Amino acid sequence: MIITERLILLPFNQAMLEATVSGDEKAFAEAGLKPNSKWFASDIRTRANGFLSLMGLGGKDEALPWMIVLKDGNEVIGDIGIMTTGEAALIEIGYGIAKPYRRNHYASEAIRALTWYQYVSHPTLKGIEANIEKVNEASHHCIIAAGYKEISSEGHLKTYLFDKGDFEAWYRQLSPNGLVLVSACLLDYTVRYNAEPLQNDVMAYAAKLMRHAVKVPCCPEQLGGLSTPRSPVECEQATGRYINQKGEDVSAAFECGAQMVLKMAEQLETHLFILKQSSPSCGSVNIYDGTFSGQKISGSGCTVKKIMMHFKSYIILDENGHMVFKA
């Protein structure tokens, strides 16, 4: 999942591809989504059928497209995808937005986010191309607004490219010194509430993210003065207070720790983060619901909320392949 300022990009799976081909709106409703009728009536069904065939031939899930969903209303208004897997040095991007939602810069927003995601996920990637029909003026504007440059014009197509150099320049804008703030638990520091390490595969995945960056550990809860081990904490939904399992209010420690992380980010001149999902401090997509029942809800932890309020641009990755993007 990729979350931008106005959009959510959700990867298709086989069930959703089959629902798209058959026009099964019920399957989308069960997933909490509402497909826009204009998008559903477009050639997405043909494309979805092609991707199902690809899967049947052993194609990788990473080559599947993403749904472009409005955060406000969960309406599916388009799709975007990579034509080949990230194992190739050069890949191609394609996208489409339902007609009622064009000219709102949704496509550019989605392109920028997926472009960053591809470069972070595939360090050997050298470029992403887009081939656009010359008569499609709106699509030319979208790809240029996303930072791509025209490199050729042959026949009925223009080709645009976002190369490794473009990505590195963008990266330096967000972190001039190549530094990334990382939840210390993802780097195998003993900072978790129960003082136990995360699973090896979790830390291994986190290690692959931005593997050439200098990763600086941080633990907001320890920075806020809480000890390890400590009683687990969840955010009480009715009040927004951070309460531990003993019933103690530790909100002040959470607020202090979040402010310390902001100060670290400012001093290090970085807007890049890799943070532990579901944490009451570092969760960026979901957190526990405050009842200590193990149930998760959509939401952000205390530190992530501060990051999102404080910085005009930021990128937050996690160990599950999610990304929160505003850049």
Full DSSP string of 110-150: HHHHHHHHHHHH-TT--EEEEEEETT-HHHHHHHHHTT-EE
- Phi, psi (5° rounding) for residue 92? -125, 140
Give me the pLDDT at residue 210, please: 84
Same domain assignment for residues 182 and 304: yes
Same domain assignment for residues 110 and 72: yes
Same domain assignment for residues 202 and 280: yes
11, 110 Cβ separation under 8 angstroms: no
In the predicted structure, residue 239 carries a pLDDT above the cut 50: yes
Q: Produce one character per residue of 140-153: b if its CB has 16 or more CB atoms within 10 Å, e if not.
A: bebbeebbbeeeee
Q: Produce one character per residue of 243-276: b if its CB has 16 or more CB atoms within 10 Å, e if not.
A: bbeeeeebbebbbbbbbbbbebbeebebbbbbbb
All residues at 6 or more sequence positions from 204 whose CB lies less than 8 Å from its CB, including other chains: none
Confidence category of residue 60, pLDDT binned at 50, 70, 90 = low
- Higher-confidence residue: 150 or 43? 150
All residues at 6 or more sequence positions from 262 whose CB lies less than 8 Å from its CB, including other chains: 306, 307, 310
Q: Say what percent of the chain tops pLDDT 70.
A: 95
> What does the pLDDT average to over 245-250?
97
Q: CA-CA distance, 296 to 46, in Å (whole number)?
A: 36
H-run or E-run covering 204:
helix 200-208
Q: Say what percent of the chain tops pLDDT 90.
A: 73
Same domain assignment for residues 40 and 75: yes
Same domain assignment for residues 150 and 181: no
Same domain assignment for residues 90 and 49: yes
Domains in the chain, number? 2
The SS3 of residue 185 is: helix
The domain boundary residue, chosen from 171, 193, 216: 171
Note the pLDDT tens digit of each residue in 248-290.
999 999 999 999 999 999 999 999 999 999 999 999 999 999 9
Note the pLDDT tens digit of each residue in 28-37.
999 999 988 8
Same domain assignment for residues 140 and 209: no
Give me the pLDDT at residue 86, please: 47
Confidence category of residue 221, pLDDT binned at 50, 70, 90 = very high
In the predicted structure, residue 299 carries a pLDDT above the cut 90: yes
Q: Is the dihedral of CA 204, 210, 212, 217 positive or negative?
A: negative
Same domain assignment for residues 200 and 166: no
CATH code for position 154: 3.40.630.30
Same domain assignment for residues 164 and 236: no
The domain boundary residue, chosen from 120, 145, 171: 171
How far apart, in Å, are the Cα atoms of 144 and each of 102, 103, 106, 219? Answer: 15, 14, 13, 39
Cis? peptide before 197, omega within 30° of 0: no
Give me the pLDDT at residue 59, please: 55
Q: Is the dihedral of CA 79, 85, 88, 89 positive or negative?
A: positive
In the predicted structure, residue 107 carries a pLDDT above the cut 70: yes
Same domain assignment for residues 262 and 162: no
Domain residues for the domain of 118 are: 2-171
The domain boundary residue, chosen from 171, 194, 223: 171
Name which of 45-54, 206-215, 288-297 the model is least confident about.
45-54
In the predicted structure, residue 58 carries a pLDDT above the cut 80: no
Same domain assignment for residues 144 and 275: no
Same domain assignment for residues 165 and 210: no
What mean pLDDT value characterizes the chain? Answer: 91
Pairing of strands 2-3, 323-326: parallel
How far apart, in Å, are the Cα atoms of 11 and each of 7, 62, 64, 178, 297? Answer: 13, 9, 7, 29, 19
Note the pLDDT tens digit of each residue in 175-211.
999 999 999 999 999 999 999 999 999 988 888 888 8
All residues at 6 or more sequence positions from 184 whose CB lies less than 8 Å from its CB, including other chains: 191, 217, 218, 219, 222
In the predicted structure, residue 43 carries a pLDDT above the cut 80: no
Query: Residue type for 143, please?
Result: I
224, 260 Cβ separation under 8 angstroms: yes
Q: CA-CA distance, 243 to 251, in Å (whole number)?
A: 7
